[in-house]
A and B are shown apart, each in its own frame.
Chain A
Amino acid sequence: MFFITSNDRKLRDDGRAYDEIRPIKIEAGVLKRADGSAYLEFGGNKILASVYGPRESYIRRLLKPNTGVIRVRYNMAPFSVDDRKRPGPDRRSTEISKIAADALRPALMLEQFPRSMVDVSIEIIEAEGGTRCAGITAAAVALADAGIPMKDIVVGCAAGKVNDEVVLDLSEKEDKEGQADVPIAIMPRTGEITLLQADGNLTEEEFEEALDLAMEGCRQIAKIQEDALKRRYGVEM
């Protein structure tokens, strides 16, 4: 059976249309000990996220008397990539941890929990391009699963440029061979952007196109997040 896609641009290496995301699956509440958790498969990515807290901040220097704080740890398993990654934090994962915390923070109503700490852990079990966005997507589901008051979900997706075409959600191969990558995260209800990075070469028009495309991707993924949470809490769909 053939599907005629809505555009006349040529298909990508893996057969996707320019505005098509990879297959995605999210499950909420997969870990017993954690207060909240989620498992996400996105293309070849396999990601676990967990949440502990809000709990009393035992790290004095992080404690804020008027609000809670969020800490994120993004970590790649040594076996998640082709050449074994040395365990432990490196510069890349330290940076991603920080921007992931900044991406998630705006949605959380942590003012209700002064002097507390929320610990989010994003574990990349298998990586296939776009792990930071997928990690944030999974972490947001885990935060909701933990019952932390949130203004909105947070959802991440990237767009980029491959073969001079702006495309949605780069695969690992496209990321390596491509000309640009724009990972973003938004709060879908308001469309506010909580994470934005870009690398590569894009014209102004291409950037705008990429941003719009990535936001559209985010909105699609947000539906899957919502479904995962409804399934977890037995809400009729």
Chain B
Amino acid sequence: MKIVPEISRRSITKLINDGKRADGRAFDERREIFIEPNIISKAEGSAKVTLGDTQVIVGVKPTIGEPFGDTPNLGVLMTNCELLPMAAPEFEPGPPSPESIELARVVDRGIRESQLVDLEKLCIEEGKKVWMLFIDLHVIDYDGNLFDAANLAVMAALLNTKLPTATYVDEEVVLDEENLIDLPVVDKLALSTFVKIGNGMVLDPSLEEEEILDARITIGVTQEGNHVCSMQKGGEKPLTRDEVLDAVHMAFTTKEDLLQHLE
């Protein structure tokens, strides 16, 4: 547990109560975003996202496997996250921490629930063989708001993922590596994280804001569907109904601004 000097907690809180942020951003303003797609030639899909000084690398690797019994005609998505020890002094090697599991699951839930990947098209032979997509999140520099950075990186990686054409012949899957098809991505998800500090709710928390947050809320909104698809609250303090609704509203109004980076 990191000890935040009381003095910086007070100064940040006071600024927010006065309608300002330590780095001069508006409450609904994100830090600078850079997306580099296709940075790993050995991965079928990949991207690096920089959000402020937070950096996340995502790689997508497909394998062929068997579908789950209750969804014999659907492909499988699996999201895994590593908070690498290089990303922050407090991150330790070893089995995944609760924080990294939460991050992976929130990102996974957004993609899954929004149905932005057409899983039916990932079925090769019903009940027998389907594509399984492994989405591996690598956090390499932690400067706050991993949720949004990770989701954006996953979106960018999925949008450039290409799979070999697979056909099922004589009980076997035949892959045609010459003819690649784009992963069927039918929508985009904007994930927005807000934190409550003092009397204010701010978008895209910086590290220093995240360290003193009272409460955190992450909201996933689809571009085409225009739906809320996922939500996650964190932090030790509660949020009021109005605070939640304000955050959801802001998630919708800032959605396009975020997703334009994927063009």
A residues contacting B by CB (< 8 A) are 31-34, 37, 44, 46, 48-50, 52, 55, 73, 75, 77-84, 87-89, 119, 121, 123, 125-127
Contact = CB atoms under 8 A, between A and B. Distances in A.
A80 B40 CA distance: 7
B93 A73 contact: yes
20 contacts: A32-B53, A32-B141, A33-B141, A33-B142, A46-B39, A49-B86, A77-B57, A78-B136, A79-B59, A79-B60, A80-B40, A87-B80, A87-B82, A121-B93, A123-B138, A123-B140, A126-B40, A126-B41, A126-B42, A126-B43
B89 A55 contact: yes
Contacts of A46: 39-40
B2 to A, nearest CB: 12
> What band does the interface of chain B fall in when counting residues whose beta carbon is under 8 Å from A?
20 to 34
Interface of B: 39-43, 46, 53, 55, 57, 59-61, 63, 80, 82, 84-89, 93, 95, 134, 136, 138, 140-143
A75 B41 CA distance: 18
B49 to A, nearest CB: 14
Given A52-B89, A83-B63, A87-B136, 4 more contacts: A33-B88, A34-B141, A78-B136, A126-B43
B36 to A, nearest CB: 12
A123 B89 contact: no
A79 B140 contact: no
Q: Which 4 residue pairs across A and B have the least CB separation, nearest first?
A: A79-B59, A50-B86, A79-B43, A84-B61
A49 B86 CA distance: 8
Nearest to B142: A33
Contacts of A82: 42
Nearest to B57: A125
A123 B40 contact: no
A125 B138 contact: yes
A89 B89 CA distance: 20
B80 A78 contact: yes
Contacts of A88: 95
A81 B42 contact: yes
Contacts of B42: 79-82, 126-127
A37 B59 contact: no
A32 B140 CA distance: 10
Contact of B134 (A75, A84, A125): A84
Contacts of A49: 86
A33 B143 CA distance: 7
A83 B59 CA distance: 12
Given A77-B57, A84-B63, A126-B42, A33 B87 contact: yes
A138 to B, nearest CB: 11
Contact of B86 (A31, A80, A81, A126): A31
B134 to A, nearest CB: 6
B143 A79 contact: no
Contacts of B88: 33
A32 B80 CA distance: 24
B136 A33 contact: no
A31 B59 CA distance: 19
A34 B57 contact: no
B86 A37 contact: yes
Which of B40, B140, B142: most chain A CB closer than 10 A? B140
Nearest to A33: B88
B34 to A, nearest CB: 13
A75 B55 contact: no
Contacts of B61: 78-79, 84
Contacts of A48: 86, 140
A44 B85 CA distance: 24
A79 B55 CA distance: 17
Contacts of A125: 39-40, 57, 138
Nearest to A77: B138
